Chain A
Amino acid sequence: MLALTAAGGPRIAALNEAAEAAGLAPGEPLADARAKAGDLQVRAVDEAADDAALRRLALWATRYTPTASPWNAENGADGFFLDIEGAAHLFGGEEKLLADLSSRLEYFGLPARFAVADTSGAAWALSRFHPAPCTVLPSGEEARALKPLPIEALRLSPETCTTLRRLGFKSVGLLLDKPRAPFAARFPAELLRRLDQALGRLDEPLVPIVAPPVYHCLRYLLEPILTQEAVVALARRLMHTLVHVLTRDDVGARGLRLCLYRVDGAVETVDIGLTLPTRNVAYVARLIDLKLEAVAAMQEASFGFEAVGLAVTRAEPIPARQNELIEDADDAGRNERSAALIDTLRQRLGPQSVRRFTAIASHLPERAEALAPVTGEVPPAPRPAPEQEAEKPRPLLILPHAEPTEVTALVPDGPPRRFRWRGVTYEIAGAQGPERIGAEWWRLANIPDHSRESGNSALDEEKKLGPRLRGDERRHAPTRDYYLVEDADGRRFWLYREGLYERETASARWFVHGLFA
């Protein structure tokens, strides 16, 4: 038995068959229950776990139809809707589908009640209150079927139900043939809305647990499959089926989801993103193979998979193209191969491993560029003006963090003569600079990592400069003077001095930021 803490002490939330036989009912105070039946095992309700279990079950039920919607708290949170329109015939009719569903749930040890109706409201009511555990309601019979059911079948709030009962409305039938206006005036809008929803006068959209895919294809297996090869082979066949529909609509898949329905009810999903829309079966099969290797989906396949679904989560148009006779001379083919290569690398090495440079308008060198995952076609990135480029040297390799270095210079704000970095002393033969790069004042809290380490210097700075730096100003990184230096062996480095003498700092610190060819 499960108990729930509510106003006025704990109450019964759910109970098993034995407890029901002892004459207990949900909603009773726990103290009463203890008095009625001596030896009760009471556990606290774990709503989060219930919710997770329901979602898992709803996900499993997507094997019947892509639209599965678990009930929210308003609906009692103990079941789910399935939109089986257009899916029932695949199982030989609604009755057969229900029979299959109930036998599978029974196999999981979950007794359940089912109802099929034209509206989700009617289905909900029948599954809860109809005497038969399995009901299929013919079209247009909602009003007749709902008549004998108690008013709770309309999914109303407990307060509304109590008021209605007090007024003598005990069943739905009594409400149906009464004029609407008085109800609208005296009751919350909920009453008529729920009534209309149950009768199909008002739409009730379902919120699916996963967005239903545009194109999808599912195959049930007589014998569960265990090996990766079998899954890939099946995925290949599913893709074959999908290709016809995709070709008809002139689109290709940009995103694919492979759903593996395990025998024990769990669902493994494998998502695959593609750089260019594709309809190539062999290629998709290969990507799935690579991805299955990378993720551990197959490791838990001890029970095997009883159904495999492949869905196109994102489709994009493929422009029609004449295939060239000579493949190698085909430039567009090369673009496709390039996209295929990127996808292949990404499946095995991870989505963040294949990237491209994108320039960003910023003065700070470490901020002026980002690596972005490659998507689709080559993006036309903005390039700095050529004259700007020529003026300012930029390193070939930039260090992830500027590294502190000890520098000897002739004059404090002159070019460096010698520096020590990573335990090696370099004599500088030539220097070019400085190139002064100021902090971007429009960004706040713009302090690089290394200056945060040494809080002392910031404090000193503050003391020395006193009232001149205040508020946000103080949080800006100091100005940097960059030098391109070359040692006697021809190695070139990019050094900078942080802070302007006399104005920003008393003892400037030096950093190595990049390496030149």
Chain B
Amino acid sequence: MAQPTALSMMRNRAEVAAKLRRLLPKIQALRNAPAIPFGVAAIDHYLPQGGLAGGGLHEFVPEAGATPAAFGFIVALLARLSQPHPLFLVLPSYGRRDFGRPYGHGLSALGLDPRRLILVETAHRNETLWALEEALRSRAPSAVVGAIDKLDLKSSQRLQLAATDAGLPLLLLRPAQNLESSAAATRWRVGARQAARDRFGLFVRPRWHLQLERCRNGRPGEWLVEYDHVAHRFSLAAALADHALSRSAGEKPLRQAHRS
């Protein structure tokens, strides 16, 4: 009786080894996808990995009339990515009428080298979804950005899966209407705020009102951030009229402060 058990154990072992081997790449992929930290402890410690998950779908929903601002916030996030690989930006052609097209000199004004960006124009939603997934599955870019008018739960699950498998961040801009439940790792609501100006009255740092509405394994939060395009750095805006908001935003545990 001893021999069969040994054999079955062996078989079990082989199976276990095979299973582990199958799992291993996934774990490695997770390891290989470092989070994208904001560099602001107050925000980062709300997020499970201390930053935006490197592999995952992140949704950005603009407040009324703040679509350019939300796009600018995404661009600022991209500018902080240091990998040299191209960034794929999938934009539907119908958005061109309302918002025009990204302007390279404006991108570099936010600190993003326009040469890193590859612009993909799609004619309708199915093409957009296909292009986003294709870009993720190729694992070629360092991040994929897209704009979409409507996203159902199933498509969002597909994209989230593709993003986690590839270990790449997918930043998706979607309008505030047609919001359905989605499988995204985080959902941010971005609003425009008056920019910081220097003593000559020039606009120096754009400001955004951020609301982390949904965050898997994290907590929702609300902040007012500004962005310095020269240093590629986010920071919390100095206390403004709304005291309660700024105090809650500035609160950070010591442990987290040391880590960042």
Residues of A that sit less than 8 Å from B by CB: 328, 334-335, 337-338, 340-342, 344-345, 348-349, 352-357, 359, 365, 368-369, 371, 374, 378-381, 383-384, 389-390, 393-400, 429-430, 432, 484, 486, 488-492, 514-517
Contact = CB atoms under 8 A, between A and B. Distances in A.
Contacts of B114: 357, 359, 381
Contacts of A356: 115, 117-119
Interface string B52-77: 00000000000001101101110110
Contacts of B123: 349
A341 B134 contact: yes
B104 A396 contact: no
Contacts of B85: 334, 338
B119 A397 contact: no
A517 B131 contact: no
B150 interface: no
Question: Do most interface residues of chain B lie in helix, strand or loop, or is the interface mixed?
Answer: mixed
Nearest to A374: B118
Contacts, number: 177
A355 to B, nearest CB: 5
Interface string B82-105: 000110100000001101111111
Given A379-B115, A430-B194, A492-B203, A348 B130 contact: yes
Given A349-B120, A356-B118, A397-B103, A490 B195 contact: yes
Contact of A398 (B97, B106, B201): B106
Given A492-B195, A517-B68, A337 B140 contact: yes
Interface residues of B, number: 59
A354 B104 contact: no
A137 to B, nearest CB: 57
B49 interface: no
- Best-surrounded residue of A365, A397, A488 (most CB of chain B within 10 A): A397
Contact of A490 (B69, B109, B121): B69
B154 interface: no
A276 to B, nearest CB: 12
Contact of A517 (B76, B118, B139, B201): B76
Nearest to A384: B105
A338 B140 contact: yes
9 contacts: A355-B118, A369-B105, A378-B86, A389-B108, A396-B71, A397-B71, A432-B202, A486-B203, A517-B69
Contact of A394 (B73, B101, B105, B191): B105
A3 B121 CA distance: 54
A397 B101 contact: yes
Given A349-B127, A394-B103, 20 more contacts: A334-B85, A341-B134, A345-B131, A349-B122, A353-B122, A354-B118, A357-B102, A371-B101, A389-B108, A396-B106, A397-B106, A398-B100, A400-B97, A430-B194, A490-B193, A491-B65, A492-B195, A492-B203, A515-B99, A516-B68
B120 A517 contact: no
A369 B103 contact: yes
Nearest to B130: A348
B100 A400 contact: yes
A432 B127 contact: no
Nearest to A371: B119
Given A368-B105, A490-B69, A396 B131 contact: no
B206 interface: yes
B118 A516 contact: no
B172 interface: no
Nearest to A484: B203
B154 to A, nearest CB: 21
Contacts of B88: 341
A357 B68 CA distance: 19
Contacts of A349: 120-123, 127, 131
A354 B119 CA distance: 6
B194 A429 contact: yes
B230 to A, nearest CB: 8
Nearest to B142: A334
A432 B117 contact: no
Contacts of B104: 357, 359, 369
A334 B140 contact: yes
A359 B134 CA distance: 28
A384 B114 CA distance: 12
A362 to B, nearest CB: 11
A326 B106 CA distance: 38
B103 A398 contact: yes
A359 B197 CA distance: 28
Contacts of B106: 394-398, 514, 516-517
Given A340-B138, A348-B127, A432 B203 contact: yes
B206 A516 contact: yes
B208 to A, nearest CB: 8
Nearest to A337: B140
Contacts of B108: 383-384, 389, 394
Given A338-B86, A396-B102, A357 B115 contact: yes
B192 interface: yes
Nearest to A390: B230
A492 B192 CA distance: 9
A201 B203 CA distance: 80
A374 to B, nearest CB: 6
A44 B146 CA distance: 59
B249 interface: no
A492 B208 CA distance: 12
A486 B107 CA distance: 19
B207 interface: yes
Contacts of A369: 103-105
Interface in B108-149: 108-110, 113-115, 117-123, 127, 130-131, 134-135, 138-141
